[in-house]
Amino acid sequence: MTHKENKELIMSKERAKYSELYKQSVISEQFRLLRSGITYSRRGEDYQTIMITSPGHGDGKTTTATNLGIVLAQHDKKVIVIDADLRKGKLHKLFDISYSRGLTDILARKAFVDEAICLSTIPNLHIIPCGTIMKTSYELLTADRMEEILLVLSREYDIILFDTSPILYTAETQIIANMCEASLLVLMNGKTLKEEASKATTILQNSKAQLLGASLNGSMVRSKMYEFQQ
């Protein structure tokens, strides 16, 4: 790994756990607002399965998925984040966990679900890494097998988050969208094209999951906070 790659990985790790490392920051507050928006969008019952995706690469969906998982876990929910990007999964790198057993291994019936669950350093937050990545890993993902996996996880976790690959480029993301109760679209300010956002929105609206809305990354956030009086 080059010095530049190592530096980028360190920064990515920090972004992935931002809401735990800097709980009082403006950005963490934004993720808590996102949590509230999702929680109160369905009165009386939380969504148990939520998919986080984006139109393209580099829009910040993984950062959104992990930080949403963190603030939900901080809210006393038992949360598991599944790395369902079977082509470029990276949660194992961000959380320094083994990926020898992960989603691809469960899908291939080479591991049981509980064998692939990894603990994080954050209370109430568990992770299933992508697992062994092969050129045809995505072909392992079928609706029937995923339903079996979800049935097991739904008994143990309050909320199951899927960090998926970009929805405009991969068919497996659409399979997951049809299995989740809700989906969240992540856009990057100044990068995501209007046409891409529109096309991704249409695909998600046509899936079984309810489209909760879009989360915009990379926008300026006011530094002045509404702080507690000391």
CATH number at residue 126: 3.40.50.300
70 phi and psi, to 5 degrees?
A: -65, -50
Structure-block tokens of residue 201: 């929105």
Cα(193)–Cα(117) distance, integer angstroms:
36
Domain membership of residue 1 (yes or no) is no
Those residues of the chain that have pLDDT short of 70 are 44, 220-230
Domain membership of residue 70 (yes or no) is yes
* pLDDT for the residue 217: 86
Enclosing domain of residue 173 = 46-217
* pLDDT for the residue 135: 78
* pLDDT for the residue 222: 55
* pLDDT for the residue 221: 59
* 105: exposed, middle or buried (Cβ count in 10 Å: 0-12, 13-18, 19+): buried
Domain membership of residue 40 (yes or no) is no
* pLDDT for the residue 89: 92
Domain membership of residue 41 (yes or no) is no
* pLDDT for the residue 31: 94
* Domains contained in the chain, number: 1
Domain membership of residue 199 (yes or no) is yes
pTM (predicted TM-score): 0.92
Rg from Cα positions in the chain: 17
| Angstrom distances, CA of residue 21 to CA of 4, 28, 129, 170 | 23, 9, 21, 33
* pLDDT for the residue 18: 92
Domain membership of residue 229 (yes or no) is no
Give long-range contacts, CB 8 A cutoff, 24+ apart: 117-123: 117/80, 118/92, 120/95, 121/95, 122/17, 122/20, 122/70, 122/73, 123/73
